[in-house]
């Protein structure tokens, strides 16, 4: 059991009572006169996320009214771990028994995600309260999701000095060891020998050698599901160097890799009946005498030649080799995650990942799962009218079309060229970072689209008892 939970109530466990704004008056009418007077005096109006602390006759904290919205979801109680009194770490709380099993599981998951803290470099300065695991909650589902999101957040939050390509490979090996998956890593110049030229070209200038990480798991008779994640452990922009402000958050540019490892963890923990294959091209886009240059031409794994229009459009370069390899095995579907374009953030903001797909049914399934799980995505088009922008006069493709318009779409169109028509493929272009703290979602690395993707896979490939 996660440390943020208790298995049963203690003598001093405080009860949490969810109250909707429209139901507050009815609750007050049934409460003792002194309690109702106290609540009214605090000005508590049951706005979502607000609380009213109710004392017992001897002055101890006895109950807490929690304002909730029309529906109880993952985030309804997620503000509580960081705002409720924690005492000396012994304080515990319990939800009343009014929740359905689905609501109980969501509430517990939200509590667990809100209890996350990144403590690799600094110890926590405040103890957090614990929650008695709500009646009816699926403890295994809560534990699995919390551990997967923690993995994603920890990997993204770790600075590039300690999260280079070899460190990502170690994270994959550790994950593989936990679930009995096979992990192999192609490193440095072996990438050229094994025909991953764009991964090598982007990463060759860094002191830390580039690599391609592969994790495989599951029965070979099951449908093959390939996950591909962008693993740019730091992005200076290369010779088309970023300004200081643009470089500041670039430790998160391996967020796509973190997501596919987190998703792989969920798939393996649930024992979904799939043959899972995870591919992570991991590099640092650095500058040295052997850095790849604007207007260089690279022959990709698929054989297509690419003219380098901008060295800061490196993510699609490393992904194209990995996608070509994923596609070569004729999988049932390919899903990639990448912190790929600023254009997607301009179009949709930082909280809403962009979804592209070459298969309408796959896109519909992901969006339905996103709505159901409250893990939003927004589909953007693979608008073929923009494909000509990828043309080069001297190569098959240019990696960075000029003009500055529709950048998220042209990046997705570039990736699409490395997936065979008829192979269901979806591409998620995401921020992977909370720019400010919200309930359950602290500032820093974040899993976005992870719950939606897992829900989609769980429905396509339901686990058997």
Give the DSSP letter of residue 105.
Answer: H
How far apart (Å, rounded) are the C-alpha atoms in residues 360 and 57?
61
Where would I find the H helices in 77-189?
101-114, 139-157, 165-179
How far apart (Å, rounded) are the C-alpha atoms in residues 356 and 431?
15
Q: Is 120 a catalytic residue?
A: no
State the first-to-last Cα distance of the chain, in angstroms, to the nearest integer: 22
Q: Is 123 a catalytic residue?
A: no
Give the DSSP letter of residue 133.
Answer: P
| Options 63, 230, 316, 417, the catalytic residue | 316
SS3 content of the chain, % helix, strand, coil (to 5): 35, 20, 45
> In this structure, are residues 128 and 81 in contact, taking their beta carbons and an 8 Å threshold?
yes
| Options 20, 194, 242, 460, the catalytic residue | 242
Distance from the Cα of residue 336 to its chain's centroid? 12
> In this structure, are residues 396 and 304 in contact, taking their beta carbons and an 8 Å threshold?
yes
In this structure, the strands spanning 333-338 and 425-429 are parallel
CA count, 13 A, side-chain hemisphere, 455? 18
How far apart (Å, rounded) are the C-alpha atoms in residues 74 and 107?
5
> If you count DSSP H runs as helices and E runs as strands, how many of each does the chain have, helices first?
14, 20
Residue bearing tokens 């999701």: 145
Biggest CA pair distance of the chain: 82
Residues assigned a catalytic role: 242, 316
């Amino acid at each position: 059991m996660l440390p943020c939970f208790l298995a049963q109530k203690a003598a001093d466990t405080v009860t949490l009572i969810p109250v909707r704004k429209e139901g507050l008056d009815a609750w007050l009418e049934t409460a003792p006169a002194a309690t109702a007077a106290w609540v009214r005096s605090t000005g508590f109006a049951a706005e979502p996320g607000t609380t009213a602390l109710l004392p017992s006759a001897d002055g101890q904290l006895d109950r807490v009214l929690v304002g909730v919205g029309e529906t109880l979801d993952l985030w309804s109680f997620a503000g509580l771990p960081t705002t409720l009194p924690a005492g000396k770490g012994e304080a515990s709380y319990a939800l009343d028994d009014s929740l359905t099993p689905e609501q109980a599981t969501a509430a517990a998951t939200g509590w667990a995600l809100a209890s996350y803290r990144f403590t690799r470099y600094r110890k926590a300065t405040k103890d957090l309260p614990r929650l008695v695991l709500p009646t009816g909650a699926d403890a295994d589902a809560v534990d699995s999701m919390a551990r997967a999101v923690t993995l994603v957040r920890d990997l993204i939050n770790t600075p590039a000095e300690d999260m280079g390509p070899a460190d990502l490979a170690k994270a994959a090996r550790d994950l593989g060891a936990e679930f009995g998956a096979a992990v192999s890593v192609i490193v440095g110049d072996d990438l050229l020998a094994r025909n991953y030229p764009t991964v090598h070209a982007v990463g060759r200038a860094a002191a830390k050698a580039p690599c391609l990480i592969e994790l495989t798991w599951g029965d070979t008779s099951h449908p093959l599901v390939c996950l591909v994640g962008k693993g740019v452990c730091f992005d200076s922009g290369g010779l088309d160097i970023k300004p200081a402000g643009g470089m500041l958050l670039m430790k998160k540019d391996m967020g796509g890799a973190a997501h596919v490892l987190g998703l792989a963890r969920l798939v393996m923990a649930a024992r979904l009946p799939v043959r899972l294959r995870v591919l992570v091209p991991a590099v640092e886009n650095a500058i040295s005498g052997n850095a790849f240059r604007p207007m260089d031409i690279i022959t990709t794994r698929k054989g297509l030649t690419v003219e380098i229009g901008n060295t800061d459009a490196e993510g699609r370069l490393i992904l194209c080799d990995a996608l070509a390899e994923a596609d070569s095995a004729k999988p049932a579907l390919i899903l990639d995650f990448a912190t790929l374009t600023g254009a997607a953030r301009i179009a949709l903001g930082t909280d809403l990942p962009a979804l592209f797909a070459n298969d309408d049914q796959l896109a519909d399934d992901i969006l339905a799962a996103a709505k159901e799980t409250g893990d939003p995505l927004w589909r953007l088009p693979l608008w073929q009218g923009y494909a000509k922008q990828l043309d080069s006069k001297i190569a098959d493709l240019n990696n960075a079309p000029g003009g500055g318009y529709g950048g998220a779409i042209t990046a997705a169109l570039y990736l699409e060229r490395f997936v065979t028509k008829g192979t269901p493929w979806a591409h998620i272009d995401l921020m992977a970072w909370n720019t400010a703290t919200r309930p359950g979602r602290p500032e820093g690395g974040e899993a976005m689209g992870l719950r939606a993707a897992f829900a989609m896979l769980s429905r396509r490939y339901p686990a058997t008892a």
